[in-house]
Chains A and B, each alone.
Chain A
Amino acid sequence: MERLRRILRLVQKEFLALLKDKKSRMVLIVPPTVQLLVFSFAATFDLKNISYAVWNEDTGIYSRQLLARFSGSPNFHLARTITHEQEVAPLIDNRKVLLILHIRSDFSRNLLSGSPARVEALLDGRQSNTAMILFGYVQTIVSDYTTDIANQRGIPTPIAPIDLRAWYNPNLKSRWFIVPGIVGLLTLVVTLLVTALSVAREREDGTFDQLLVTPLTPFDLILGKVLPGFVIGLIEATGIIVVAQLVFHIPLRGSIEALYLGLFLFILSGLGVGLMISSVVSTQQQGLLGAFLFLVPSIVLSGFASPIANMPPLIQDLTLLNPLRYFLVILREVFLQGAGVTILLPEYEALTAIGLGSLLLAGHFFKRKMG
C-alpha cells in the first residue's frame, strides 16, 4: 500500500516533468496532429498535375486524335509543344516536364497501312518510381486508343486483357494504404518523445542520485516512467485514429478491440525501447542519437512505404525485431481487411515479446547504474 502510493507520487512527478514546460506541452500535442494532416495529404503515389510536352512530327489526323486523349485527361497538363529535337533536352534537364510524347512523321501513314505506328514516351528517370507510374498511365491511354481504332476497323481485340479485382481497396487508393501507416509512425514518435531523453535528463540534472536514495526499486522506477507515457500515448493515438476516420474516411472494418489491443502492446514496446535507450546513455545528446538510430531504421524497415518482401533476406530477418512492422500489419488488417483479435495473434505475441524484453533490459540497466 505504502509502495503503491510511492509509485503514484512518482507517476505524478513524471507527468509534471513532461507537461509543466509550456514548450514541451506544445511539442507533445500540436505537431502530431498537424503532421497527420499534412503527411496524409502529401504521401501518395497517385500522380496528378503531370506536366508534359508534345513533339508531333506527324501531320495526319490520327496523331491529333491520340494527343487529344492526353490533353483531355484531368491528370495531364500540356506545358509545351515543341518542333525540334534540340528542345527536348533542356525541357527534361531543367525539370520543366516529366514526359515528352514524340510522334514521328510516319505515324498516321503506318496506322493506315497496318504496320506498327510508334509513339515514344521520353521520361525523366531521376524519379524512377514516378517515371514507372507515369508510364503506366500513358500505356492505359494509348491502349484505349488502340482498341478504339481496331474496333472501328472491325478488327477484334481483347478490350482489356486483364480483368483486375483488388480486394479490400478496389480503387487502389494510395491514401488507404498510407494513412494507417502514418498512425503507426506518429504513435512511435510520441512514445520516444516521452521516454528517450527522460533518464538522461535526470542523470545530467543530478536528480537520478536523489531517486537512488529513495526506497523505490528499479521496477517501481520503470513503472513510474512507463505509466505517464502510456496515458499520453493512448490519448494521442486515439486522437490520430479519430482524425484518420473523420478527415480521410479510411474505412475501419475490423474490431476496435483488435485495434486497441495492438495499440496497447505497441505503445508498451515503444516505451520499452525508449526507456532502454534512455537508461543506457549518460547524456541527453547521446539519448537523442539513440532515439534516431532506433526511429529511422524502424520507419524505413517497417513496410510503411516500401514492401518488406522487396528487401534482401538478411534485412527481412532484421525487421522481425521492429515493433512498428507488426503494428502496421495490425493497423492495415484492422482498418482495411476487417481483422479480429484471433487472426492477429502472431503479431500480438511478437509485440508482447519485444515490449517485455526491452522493459526487462531497461530494468537491468537501471539496476546496474543504481548498484
Chain B
Amino acid sequence: MSHSGERSALIAKLKRIRALVFKESLQIFRDPSSIAIAIILPFVLLLIFGYGVSLDAVHVPIAVVQDSRTPASEGFVASLRNSRWFSARPYANLHDAVEALKRQDVEGILWLRENFGREIESFHNGPIHVIVDGVDDNTARLVEGYLNDTWQTWLALRNQRGRLPSVLPVDLEARIWFNPDNRSRDFLIPGLVAVIMTLIGSLLTALVIAREWERGTMEALFVTPVSMGEILIGKFIPYFLLGMMGMGLSVLMSRYLFEVPLRGSLLILTLTSALFLTSALGMGLLISTAAKNQFVAGQIAIVFTFLPAFILSGFIFDIHSMPTFIQAITHIIPASYFVTILQSVFLAGDIPGVIIPNSVALALFSVFLFALVRRISRKRIE
C-alpha cells in the first residue's frame, strides 16, 4: 500500500517537473536570446577565435641590413628568404631599418656588419646582430628562436659543402607528442570550446531565477504544490539540453571546420561535457539566486565568467608557471579541469589518468553548487 503511495507520489512529482520544463521552454521561445546564447554565441566566437587566434608567427617581417655584401652574408640572407618563418625586407642602412622598427613595419632587425664573413671564419662572438621590439616578449623570443634555427641550418649546410668538421658536437632533436607539427590551433581550439561552454552555461541560467523574483512569479510558484528542488530541476533540464546543443555545434566546428583531430571517444566527450555543463549551469543558478535581481546578476556574470575562464583555465597561460597561490585559485575554476580534459580527448585520446580525476572534480563542483543553490533558496522561502 505504502509502496504504491510512494509510486504515485513519484509520478505526481514527475508530472510537476514536466509542467515546469514546459513552462520554461515556452519562456525560452518567447525571448529567443537564450537560443541565441546556445547557438549563435558558440558559432560566432569559434569562428572569430579559430581564425583570429594564432600564436604561430609565420612570415614575420624582418628588416635586413648588410653593411657589405659578401658571399657569406648573401648566403645567409638567402637561407633566411627560403625560411617560411620570415619575410626578409632589405634596408639600405641601419637608420632606415630602425625607423621601420619604430613604425612597427618590421618585428626586428637583422644587422650583418662589415666583418660578418671574417667573424664566422674566426669564430668570434656573435656575428649576427639582432634588434627586436621587446614589448611583445613572446614574439621577440620566437624571432630569436627562428633566427637561431636558420643560422644552425645554414652553418651545417655550409660546413657540409666545405667538408669542414661539424661545429656542433651535440645534436638536439625535438619530438613533440600529440601535435607533431606543433599547430597552435590544435591546442587552442579545445581550450576555446571550454571557455565558450563556460559562458553559455552561466549566461543561460544567470538571469532566470532573478527574473522570477523580480517579476514576483516566484511567489506565485510557491503557492503551488511544487517544491524548490522541482523548480530547480525544471529550470535545469531545458537549459541543459540547449547547452548540449551548443556543445555539439562546437565539436562539429572544431572537427570539420578547423580539422582538429578527435582521438578520444565521443562517449567520453559527451559524458565529460555533460558534467562540465552541469557545473556551469549550477554557477549561473547560484549567481541568479544570490543576486536576486537581474541587473546585479548580469554584472556578476560579466565579471566572474569570461575573464577568469580566459586567463586562469590554462587555455592560453600555462598553470604550472603561475605562482603557487594563483595555482590554488585555478582549482576553484571548473573550466581549468575541462580544458585539461578536452585537450587530452581531442589530441591524445581517452587517458584514464587525466579523465577520471578531472571528471571527479567536475562532479564534486556540480554537487556542491547545486547543494548551495538549494540551501540559499530554501532560506528565502521562510
* In the assembled complex, A139 has its CB within 8 A of some CB on chain B: yes
Surface stretch bound by B, among A211-219, A239-247, A259-267, A290-298: A290-298
Question: Could you tell me if B37 and A177 are in contact, using CB atoms closer than 8 angstroms?
Answer: no
Give 1 or 0 for each of A67-101: 1 = CB within 8 Å of chain B CB. Answer: 00000000000000000000000101111001000
Question: Could you tell me if A125 and B126 are in contact, using CB atoms closer than 8 angstroms?
Answer: no
Question: Could you tell me if A291 and B174 are in contact, using CB atoms closer than 8 angstroms?
Answer: no
Contacts of B54 in A (CB 8 A): 306, 310-311
Question: Could you tell me if A163 and B299 are in contact, using CB atoms closer than 8 angstroms?
Answer: no
Give 1 or 0 for each of A163-194: 1 = CB within 8 Å of chain B CB. Answer: 11111111011101100000001000100110
Q: Who on chain B is nearest to A47 by CB? A: B321
Question: Could you tell me if A193 and B303 are in contact, using CB atoms closer than 8 angstroms?
Answer: yes
Question: Could you tell me if A45 and B171 are in contact, using CB atoms closer than 8 angstroms?
Answer: no
Q: How far is the CA of A174 from the CA of B139 in the complex (A)?
A: 11
Question: Could you tell me if A286 and B31 are in contact, using CB atoms closer than 8 angstroms?
Answer: yes
* In the assembled complex, B9 has its CB within 8 A of some CB on chain A: no
* In the assembled complex, B166 has its CB within 8 A of some CB on chain A: yes
Question: Could you tell me if A300 and B49 are in contact, using CB atoms closer than 8 angstroms?
Answer: yes
* In the assembled complex, B289 has its CB within 8 A of some CB on chain A: no
* In the assembled complex, B175 has its CB within 8 A of some CB on chain A: yes
Question: Could you tell me if A176 and B137 are in contact, using CB atoms closer than 8 angstroms?
Answer: yes
CB distance from A88 to the nearest CB of B (A): 9
Contacts of B21 in A (CB 8 A): none
Surface stretch bound by B, among A1-9, A154-162, A350-358, A361-369: A154-162
Contacts of B253 in A (CB 8 A): none
Contacts of B120 in A (CB 8 A): 158
Contacts of A196 in B (CB 8 A): 298, 302
Which 7 pairs across A and B sit closest by C-beta, in order of nearness?
A166-B134, A125-B179, A169-B134, A163-B126, A94-B353, A156-B123, A172-B137
Identify 20 new A-B residue pairs, CB closer than 8 A, beyond the known A117-B169, A161-B148, A166-B137: A42-B317, A45-B317, A50-B320, A117-B170, A120-B175, A122-B175, A123-B175, A126-B343, A127-B318, A128-B186, A161-B151, A162-B147, A163-B128, A164-B131, A169-B140, A170-B134, A172-B134, A177-B138, A196-B298, A288-B207
Q: Which residues of A contact B (CB under 8 A)?
A: 21, 23-24, 27-28, 31-32, 35, 38-39, 41-51, 66, 90, 92-95, 98, 111, 114-133, 135-136, 138-139, 142-143, 145-146, 149-150, 155-170, 172-174, 176-177, 185, 189, 192-193, 196-198, 201, 204, 283-289, 291-293, 295-297, 299-301, 305-307, 309-312, 314-315, 332, 336-337
Interchain residue pairs with CB less than 8 A apart (6): A38-B326, A142-B170, A145-B170, A149-B170, A309-B61, A311-B54
